[in-house]
Every structure is written in C-alpha cells, then in structure tokens.
C-alpha cells in the first residue's frame, strides 16, 4: 500500500487500483469504484481532499442519498419542459439511454459518488460500445439529471464536465434544389408524392404530415393548419399528440403545393376528420412505410444519402432566399427559438454571396455590352 498526503492507494489482484481515505469524522471511506491506474486513483483522492478543505464534501453514506437509478426514475416521471410533461417519444428515448448506457455502469452509484473522473471513464466506455449519436444523447441526459440533483442540493456541482460532449455535431446536410425535390417525388408511389411536396413547400416534419386531416387544408385561403403530430411509441404503436412546443402554426402555401392538394382532395372523402394521407388500401400510413419508399426513391433519383427531413430543410432555405426574415422563417418552421432557424438564414446568405460573385464575373467579361 502506498501512503500519500491524503488517503492511500493500492493495487488490487485484478490490476486495478483502489483509493481509500478518512472522512472528517475519522471513519474510513473507500472510493465508489476502482481505477485503471495509480494516477486516476490519486486524482480522485486529490478531488476529495480539495472538497474537504473547501467545506464542500458531502458524506456519501448519508442514508437519504439516492442512487442514480432511483433518482433518474423519479426525474423522468417528473420532468417538464416549459411547464409541459415530456412527450411519449422523448420519454422512450430517455428511457432507452438510461437503461442501455447509463444505469448498467452508474445506476447503483450514490449521486455523491459520481465524480468527473468516473464520468470520463463511463463516457469513454459508451463511446467504445456505440455510435456518436447514442453517446451524445446518453451524456446529455446524465448531465440534465445531475443538473437537477445540484438544484435539489443533493450534490454541490455537476460532475459532467466534458466540453462539448452533449452537443450535436452532425455533418451539414445536403441542400436539395427544387429539381431534386421534383425528381424524388416522381420516384415515390403516387399516394406519397403529395407528402413529398408538402414536406418541401409547407416544411412539415414527417410526424406532422402524417397527422394531417382533410379539415386542416383551406384551399380558399391557401393555408395548411399544423396542430398535431403522429409519434411512434415502442411496444405501443402510433399516438397522436400535440406537436413540439411552439410548433402549432398555419402555413400559407405557394401554388405548386395548392395544386397538389387540389388534386389530392378531389379524389378523397370530404369529411374534415378523415386523414389526409393514407395507404392505397385505405389503411393507416405510418412512418416506416414512407421511409421504405423513400429509400428506393432516392436511389432511383441518384440521391443516395438524402434524408426525408432534408426536404423541410430545403424548403425553409428557399423561403429565406425568397426574403423571409428570421421571425418569418421561425413561424413557417414551427421553431420556438431562433437558433434552429438561423441555419436557413446562413444558407440564404451563402447563396446571396454566390450570386454576387457571379454578378462580378459577368461584369468583368469583355463581351458584356455597355449601357
């Protein structure tokens, strides 16, 4: 055993290292986990010593201190966003991250036992076991849960301190042109072609489009009302819920979209509550039906790798290029904050710069007639 200024570390038969120290009351404490190296164990002890000196140390043996798993279960049941309970699909996503990636390693740890070094090792383990998206989601969830633990004064600071680990870092999506969108629509089954047109011109999310009813269309005013969405819930199937926070909206449609809707409604029952989109046999149209058709259509159109959601991205970019302000893009998109809408403004700015460069090229050509 190697003695240090504070606590001690020793190498276990397994090859890992154990850290021990004395609490303020003189009773021995053992670190909640063993460490891969002597340096990691020493770093843990240094952190405990600093907390004790600053008066920040909390006794992990507090009988009222919950384990992460039980605290997370309560957090998930009580969590709200802007005063609203979590959407069922969000709960499913959080529950999967918790059960698959967080609880197996950290679930039995007391909240006070979870340190930055433990979080770093856990994060490294998750990264080696799954993809970047699942890792990011799991880390963001753990950080949110422990932020609430700080607010509840169960822990003094959040041990999730890995810079950027919870931030999305998705590659820039391809920008579809109108011709691209038309080619993709042409390769889709006839009953799904109007769905593609509305994803582009009305900027609807797939769940919002699947939830549309005949009565949501107002051909006289040229508008489409979006006030619900269809979500897929594991082991349950589809559910119709309110759309994302701030996403209820009425979108004015350009003529290509209205032409599509006129043709669609001419062949559909007039009942306002009837689904706008159905399968050819009249049964429920679900997201996996659309994705299966989309996979074939994008290959046939020579646009492999393009997502259905890219239609919405392209349509919103077109609206920005047509002169829509940030607030107007937000309204058409159903965005609750400017951050997401800004990407379409940036795309419009980039396109404007391209136009300016082309104008410069034209101005410098010797065959351009003078006026």
In tens, the pLDDT along 80-94 reads: 877 778 878 788 889
User: Residue 314: inside a domain, yes or no?
Assistant: yes
Looking up residue 339, the CATH number of its domain turns out to be 1.10.443.10
215 and 333 both lie in a single domain: yes
Task: Classify residue 88: in a domain, yes or no.
Answer: yes
Lowest mean pLDDT of 175-189, 243-257, 329-343, name the range: 329-343
Range(s) of the domain holding residue 187: 178-356
Please list the residues that pair with 240 across neighbouring strands. 230
Q: Which of 197, 249, 312, 332 is catalytic?
A: 312
Q: Are residues 80 and 113 in the same domain?
A: yes
Same domain as 200, residue 128: no
Q: Is 205 noted as a catalytic residue in this protein?
A: yes
223-226/249-252 β-pairing: antiparallel
- Number of domains the chain contains: 3
Same domain, residue pair 208 and 344: yes
Between CA 105 and CA 124 the distance in angstroms is 12
Pair 206, 293 in one domain: yes
**Spatial separation of the C-alpha atoms in residues 247 and 331, rounded to whole Å:** 8
| Residue 344 annotated as catalytic | yes
Answer yes or no: do 280 and 340 share one domain.
yes
List the catalytic residue out of 123, 136, 205, 332.
205
pLDDT of residue 345: 57
pLDDT at 371: 46
CATH number at residue 92: 1.10.150.130
What is the predicted pLDDT for the residue at 365? 59
d(CA 215, CA 212): 8
- Do residues 156 and 223 both lie within one domain? no
Q: For residues 37 and 17, is the Cβ–Cβ distance under 8 A?
A: yes
Whether 312 is catalytic is: yes
User: What pLDDT digit, counting tens, does each position of 41-78 carry?
Assistant: 898 888 888 888 887 777 666 667 889 999 999 999 99
Query: Domain for residue 337, yes or no?
Result: yes
Question: Judging by beta carbons within 10 Å of its beta carbon (0-12, 13-18, 19+), is residue 346 exposed, middle or buried?
Answer: exposed
- DSSP output for 23-83: -TTS-EEE-SS-BSSHHHHHHHHHHHHHHHHHT----TT-TTPPBHHHHHHHHHHH-EETT
Percent of the chain with pLDDT over 90: 46
Residue ending a domain, choose from 107, 136, 170? 170
From the list 221, 262, 309, 346, the catalytic residue is: 309
Please indicate, yes or no, if residue 348 is contained in any of the structural domains.
yes
The Cα 60–Cα 29 span in angstroms is 9
> Can 120 be counted among the known catalytic residues?
no
Which DSSP string do the residues of 195-212 spell out, in sequence order? HHHHHHHS---HHHHHT-
pLDDT of 318 over the 80 cut: yes
Cα–Cα distances in angstroms (integers) from residue 3 to residues 6, 116, 167, in the given order: 8, 23, 41
Residue 176, number of CB atoms within 10 A of its CB: 23
Residue 354 confidence class, pLDDT cut points 50, 70, 90? low
Residue 67 β-bridge partners: 110
- 120 — pLDDT class (breaks 50, 70, 90): very high
Domain ends where: 57, 85, 100? 57
Alpha carbon distance 175, 180 (integer Å): 9
DSSP state of 98: I
Residue 203 annotated in active site: no
């Amino acid at each position: 055993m190697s003695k240090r200024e504070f606590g001690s570390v020793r190498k276990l038969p397994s090859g890992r290292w154990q850290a021990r120290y004395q609490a303020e009351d003189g009773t021995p404490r053992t670190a909640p986990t063993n460490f891969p190296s002597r340096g990691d164990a020493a770093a843990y002890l240094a952190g405990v010593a600093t907390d004790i000196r600053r008066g920040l140390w909390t006794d992990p043996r507090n009988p009222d201190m919950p384990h992460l798993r039980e605290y997370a279960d309560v957090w998930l049941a009580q969590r709200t966003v802007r005063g609203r309970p979590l959407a069922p699909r969000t709960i499913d996503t959080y529950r999967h991250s918790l059960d698959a990636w967080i609880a197996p390693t950290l679930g039995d740890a007391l909240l006070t036992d979870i340190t930055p070094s433990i979080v770093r090792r856990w994060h490294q383990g998750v990264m080696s076991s799954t993809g970047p998206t699942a890792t990011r989601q799991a880390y963001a969830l753990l950080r949110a849960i422990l932020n609430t633990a700080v607010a509840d004064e169960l822990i003094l600071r959040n041990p999730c301190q890995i810079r950027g680990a919870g931030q999305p870092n998705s590659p820039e999506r391809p920008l579809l042109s109108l011709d691209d969108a038309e080619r993709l629509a042409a390769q889709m089954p006839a009953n799904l072609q109007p769905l593609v047109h509305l994803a582009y011109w009305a900027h609807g999310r797939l769940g919002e489009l699947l939830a549309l009813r005949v009565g949501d269309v107002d051909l006289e005013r040229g508008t489409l009302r979006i006030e619900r969405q269809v979500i897929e819930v594991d082991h349950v199937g589809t559910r119709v819920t309110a759309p994302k926070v701030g996403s209820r909206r009425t979108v004015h449609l350009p003529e290509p979209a209205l032409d599509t809707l006129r043709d669609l409604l001419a062949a559909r029952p007039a009942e306002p509550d009837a689904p706008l989109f159905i399968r050819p046999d009249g049964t429920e149209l679900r997201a996996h039906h659309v994705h299966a058709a989309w996979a074939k259509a994008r290959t046939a159109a020579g646009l492999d790798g393009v997502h259905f959601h890219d239609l919405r991205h392209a349509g919103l970019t077109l609206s920005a290029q047509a002169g829509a302000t940030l607030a107007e893009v937000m309204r058409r998109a159903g965005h609750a904050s400017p951050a997401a809408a800004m990407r379409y403004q940036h795309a419009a700015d980039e396109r404007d710069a391209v136009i300016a460069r082309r104008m410069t090229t034209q101005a410098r050509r010797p065959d351009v007639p003078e006026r």
